[in-house]
Amino acid sequence: MLIQLRKLIIPRFIQTLKKSEKGAIMIEFALTFPITLLLLLGGFETFRLLMAHRKSNMTVTSVSNLVSQNKNLSSGAIQNIFDAV
């Protein structure tokens, strides 16, 4: 008797699970949100890294331009330029 009930109830329950799509979007969101967030934050950090690299390159270019314009620079004058930057 119990085996016959299982044979009837379990397949019906499995069929209702197959047909029911309630919560499928929430599960998909829960699976994709961490990856999306990781990509977004990674993009921001990459942008910040590139901007810092660009600023350091601009600083080096400016200092080298100032130093190359003056032929008579002492080590103290060069140190003052580096201190100003």
Domain ranges of the chain: 37-67+79-85
Q: What is the pLDDT of residues 68-78, one digit of tens each?
A: 887 777 778 77
How far apart (Å, rounded) are the C-alpha atoms in residues 67 and 80? 11
Higher confidence at residue 57 or residue 9?
Answer: 57
pLDDT on residue 4: 64
3-class state of residue 84 by DSSP? helix
Q: What percent of the chain has pLDDT over 70?
A: 76
How far apart (Å, rounded) are the C-alpha atoms in residues 66 and 69? 5
Q: What is the pLDDT of residues 17-46, one digit of tens each?
A: 666 677 788 888 999 999 999 999 999 999
pLDDT on residue 26: 86
| H or E stretch covering 77 | helix 75-84
For the residues of 14-45, what is the DSSP string, one character each? HHHHHH--TTHHHHHHHHHHHHHHHHHHHHHH
